[in-house]
Amino acid sequence: MDGTVIEAKSKQRSPFIVSRGMKFPKDNQFIKGQIRGALRKDLYEGKESDAVMKVVRDDDVVIELGAGIGYMSTLVATKRKLKAVYAYEANPNLIPYIHAVHAANNVKNAHVHNAILGARKGTVDFYPRKNLLASSLVPKEGEEAPYSVKVDVLNAKQVMKETQANVLICDIEGAEADLIPAMDLSGLRAAVIELHPQWIGPDGVNAVFRAFMDAGLAYYARGSTRKVVSFRRSW
- State the DSSP H helix or E strand holding residue 230, giving kind and residue range, or none if neither: strand 228-232
Domains of the chain are: 45-118+155-232 (3.40.50.150)
- The answer for 140, left when phi > 0, alpha when psi is -120 to 50, beta otherwise, is beta
Report the distance separating Cα 141 and Cα 154, nearest Å. Answer: 27
139 confidence band (pLDDT: 50, 70, 90): confident
User: Please, are residues 127 and 148 in contact by the beta-carbon 8 Å criterion?
Assistant: yes
Rg of the chain, C-alpha, whole Å: 18
* Helix-, strand-, coil-residue percentages of the chain, each rounded to 5: 35, 25, 35
pLDDT at residue 58 is higher than 60: yes
User: Please, are residues 62 and 56 in contact by the beta-carbon 8 Å criterion?
Assistant: yes
Segment 106-123, tens digit of pLDDT: 999 999 999 999 999 999
- The answer for 21, left when phi > 0, alpha when psi is -120 to 50, beta otherwise, is left
Report the distance separating Cα 191 and Cα 230, nearest Å. Answer: 6
pTM of the model: 0.91
Task: Calculate helix-pair angle for 46-55, 71-79, nearest 10 degrees.
Answer: 40
Tell me what pLDDT residue 5 has: 53
pLDDT at residue 59 is higher than 60: yes
pLDDT at residue 64 is higher than 80: yes
User: Please, are residues 79 and 106 in contact by the beta-carbon 8 Å criterion?
Assistant: no
pLDDT at residue 75 is higher than 70: yes
Contact partners, residue 10, CB within 8 Å, separation at least 6: none
Which of the residue ranges 32-46, 127-141, 142-156 would you say has the lowest mean pLDDT?
Answer: 127-141
Tell me what pLDDT residue 6 has: 52
| 7 or 143, greater pLDDT | 143
Segment 11-43, tens digit of pLDDT: 568 899 999 999 999 998 899 999 999 999 999
Q: Angle 102-73-78 (CA atoms, 0-180°, nearest 5)?
A: 70
pLDDT at residue 10 is higher than 80: no
Neighbouring-strand partners of residue 167: 62, 190
| Mean pLDDT of the 126-133 span | 82
| 9 or 58, greater pLDDT | 58
Tell me what pLDDT residue 129 has: 83
Tell me what pLDDT residue 3 has: 57
Tell me what pLDDT residue 146 has: 82
235 confidence band (pLDDT: 50, 70, 90): confident
51 confidence band (pLDDT: 50, 70, 90): very high
Tell me what pLDDT residue 72 has: 98
Which of the residue ranges 20-29, 90-99, 134-143, 156-165 would you say has the lowest mean pLDDT?
Answer: 134-143
